[in-house]
Each structure stands twice: as structure tokens, then as C-alpha cells.
Amino acid sequence: MNIKEALERGSLRKIRPDRGLVDKELVEAEYDLQKARETLQEGDVKWSTVQSYYVMFHSARALLFSLGYREKSHAAILAVLEDQCFKGRLEEIFLDDYRAAMNARENADYHYTYSSETAKHLLKAAEEFMKRMGGLVG
């Protein structure tokens, strides 16, 4: 799905860019990152995996709010990230990491499959993703 399709389907809508929402999402991402670190250290691989995804989710929402979008689905966020890659504003590795985190969260939540290796990788990827989104929103 691209941005045009997401807007037509109603899974994405235009809003006025909102710095307050941007900042709120970045605070949530930072909170989730701290919790993901703690839960991984405690050995809770599944929950750290889920939390690492939400670091990326909230970071990406910050980008959406800065661009003047509000999503109604996780796939709509992916459409905006793909668009940012297409426009040369975002490196493809971040898009790949977001997709991998989405899949890992779904596997952990719905299929009860997760691993320490994946959780460690996602935690590192989530930290880098959050930094990159922060750089894009200013």
C-alpha cells in the first residue's frame, strides 16, 4: 500500500503537523526503549521483542505527525516510511528494520515464537531507528 492508497482507504489521513504530538511520541519511544532494555536484561525475550517494535512504532508516529499524517493502521506507517525512502529522506535499512520488527512482534504475540538473538538485534535496531526518526523530525 502506498500513501495515496492509504489515504483513499482511510488508514491514513492528513492533519496539521503537530509538534506536541511529535514530542509525545518521542517520549513514549524513549520510555519503551528503556523498558525493552530492562526486560531483556531480566530475560523476558518475548516482551523485549514487543517493546522494541513499539520503540519503532512511536518513533515512526512522530515522523508521521511532523509530516501532517495520522495513521489508523500499522501498515499505513509502513506506507509513509516507504515514501520517505522513495524520496531519499530515509535509508532503506530503517525500512527493513521496521518490517522485521513488525514481523517479530506478530510472531511473538500471535505465534509464540521469539528468540534472544532476535530480541537483542531488535533492541539495537530500535535504538538506531529512534535516533534516525528524531533526526528527521528535528
The domain in which residue 57 lies consists of 3-137
Residues listed for the chain: 138
Number of domains in the chain: 1
Q: What is the pLDDT of residue 138?
A: 81
- Which tens digits make up the pLDDT trace of 10-51? 999 999 999 999 999 999 999 999 999 999 999 999 999 999
- At 49, which CATH number? 1.20.120.330
As a whole number, mean pLDDT of residues 55-60 equals 98
Q: How far is the C-alpha of 22 from the C-alpha of 40, rounded, in Å?
A: 27
Instruction: Give the mean pLDDT of the chain.
Output: 96
CA distances from 127 to 5, 48, 74, 133 (A): 30, 13, 19, 10
How does residue 1 score in pLDDT terms, banded at 50, 70 and 90? confident
Q: How far is the C-alpha of 8 from the C-alpha of 79, rounded, in Å?
A: 13
In the block, which residue shows the cell 513514549? Answer: 28
As a whole number, mean pLDDT of residues 107-132 equals 96
